[in-house]
Chain A
Amino acid sequence: MNYEFDWSLLLQEPNWGWVIEGISNTVQLSLMAWGLALVIGIFIGTIRMAKSRVLRLVGTTYVEIFRNIPLLVQLFLWFFVFPLLLPDDFMRAWNRLDGVPFLTALIGLSLFTAARIAEQIRSGISSIPKGQFLAAYSTGLTEVQTFRHVIIPYAFRVMIPAIASEFLTIFKNSALTLTIGVAEITGAAKTIEAYTFRGIEAYSAASLTYMLTTASVVIFMGWLEHVLRIPGLIGKR
């Protein structure tokens, strides 16, 4: 194996610009998709625990469909199929939008991750003792109020580790959006490799991005978990 390293090439233009753009796209896409996925996921996860059978069925169907189709296939569906199913006027308006790949990636990633978060929410809610529900109802709260004020804040804290790991999942999954033309960091590394044949340097830039993010999120979440822990529950100090 003979390979001459040239790390400085990452700092040369246009490579440096691509790296920065890639990191910025990855971070923006994952943060936005994570936020959306949390909102949708909490909603879906909650209606899966509702009393109404119809609501439960809707929630279960959503989860089964979105987690059993590979993310790459879902991205292709949103990118290639979804615009064709729109009425003509909408399709033209959609195609005229700026950054269709980014928007498509945002939709695909957040709906996919929402199904995973919904599952976490459900297992979080199932872990809540029944007495909490009974106590909340007995104070006169409605079902919606019980969930909003008692169950979700409680479940949320129990689920912090799972939700943090979902952020890391979405962060890594965002790499797949290079297939529909989003210039995120893995795609940027691939581009640099294609132009310079310097794969080790280029892919190191991408790997480092993911590894540093993972490390910081793990450390931050450990701290947050410690601060927000519910007294009386077993947990690491």
Chain B
Amino acid sequence: MDFSVISDNIEFLMLGLMRSFQLAVFTIVFSLTIACFIAIGRVSSRRAIRYPSAIFVNLLRSNPLILIVFWFFFLVPLITGKTLPEFHTVLIAFVVFFAAYFAEIVRSGIQSVGASQVKAALSTGLTYSQSMRLIVLPQAFRNMLPALVTECVIVFQGTTIAYVIGMREFLHSTSLVAERTVRPVELYLFAALVYLVICFAGTRLALFLEKK
């Protein structure tokens, strides 16, 4: 084993890691925002809102992420009539996919807030959207923080799937260097270690928040 291949290529590898982080952060921000609306739709008393949100969530959750990515790589150029940069297409697919997962977490968070809170908020004269925004969601977020952090780790792990369509994230950079230097053992072990350290920190954080 010769780990100098890693220090020789560290800049290239770290560029890939930055790309992975970028994809994860953008995915989390956008999908969590969308997820809040879908989650509120899921607990709505109107069927016309509740059913479409339920269909959205279950449709996405019963398909693998890699297949969703393939779908979007086929559909986006077909619908927009032009080819977007691969980062954008992957991001759209990720946002839609993870919005469904985040929506379920937000929904269970909302449902963990007592119904009396909503009634009390409404009785003080707040509108439905105000009581959701000011009373229910802040409490819900506190309850679901551990689950959210865990899901963020899953998003970060999921960024490896961008490898499949050739986006140059960390795993792809690793495989490129592995092919060029013919040192797959060192490089893949290094990649595994990097993911392990980052995700371990994330799962520990989730555990810590759960206990608090």
Contacts and interface: CB of A to CB of B under 8 A. Distances in A.
Contact of B67 (A3, A74, A186): A186
A1 B78 contact: yes
Interface string A68-110: 1111111011001100110000000000000000000000000
A15 to B, nearest CB: 16
B157 A80 contact: no
Given A69-B195, A210-B62, A214-B62, A176 B161 contact: yes
B178 interface: yes
B45 interface: no
Interface string A175-192: 110110000001001100
Interface stretch (A50-58, A128-136, A140-148, A200-208): A200-208
Contacts of B56: none
B171 A85 contact: no
Contacts of B89: none
B160 interface: yes
Interface stretch (B31-39, B129-137, B141-149, B182-190): B182-190
Q: How large is the interface on B (under 10, 10 to 19, 20 to 34, 35 or more residues)?
A: 35 or more
A173 interface: yes
Contacts of B203: 64, 67-68
A68 B157 CA distance: 8
B185 A210 contact: no
A81 B190 CA distance: 12
A214 B63 CA distance: 9
Given A69-B192, A199-B74, A172 B64 contact: yes
Main secondary structure of the interface of B (DSSP, over half): helix
A227 interface: no
B64 A173 contact: yes
B128 interface: no
Contact of A186 (B64, B175, B199): B64
A85 B185 contact: yes
A172 B63 contact: yes
Contacts of B12: none
Contacts of A203: 67, 70-71, 74
B63 A207 contact: yes
Contacts of A215: 62
A77 B78 CA distance: 36
Nearest to B62: A214
A189 B70 contact: yes
A108 to B, nearest CB: 12
B78 A193 contact: no
Contacts of A207: 63, 67, 71
Nearest to B156: A70
Nearest to A173: B64
Given A190-B70, A207-B67, A81 B184 contact: yes
Contact of A211 (B59, B71, B81): B59
B43 to A, nearest CB: 19
A142 B196 CA distance: 37
Contacts of B160: 70, 72-73
B188 A76 contact: yes
17 contacts: A64-B200, A67-B203, A69-B195, A70-B158, A70-B195, A73-B195, A77-B192, A80-B184, A81-B188, A85-B185, A172-B65, A175-B64, A193-B70, A199-B74, A207-B63, A207-B71, A215-B62
Please provide the 6 A-B residue pairs with the shortest distance between their CB atoms, ordered closest to farther. A199-B74, A70-B157, A68-B199, A214-B62, A175-B64, A172-B64
Interface of A: 1, 3, 64-65, 67-74, 76-77, 80-81, 84-85, 168, 172-173, 175-176, 178-179, 186, 189-190, 193, 199-200, 203, 206-207, 210-211, 214-215
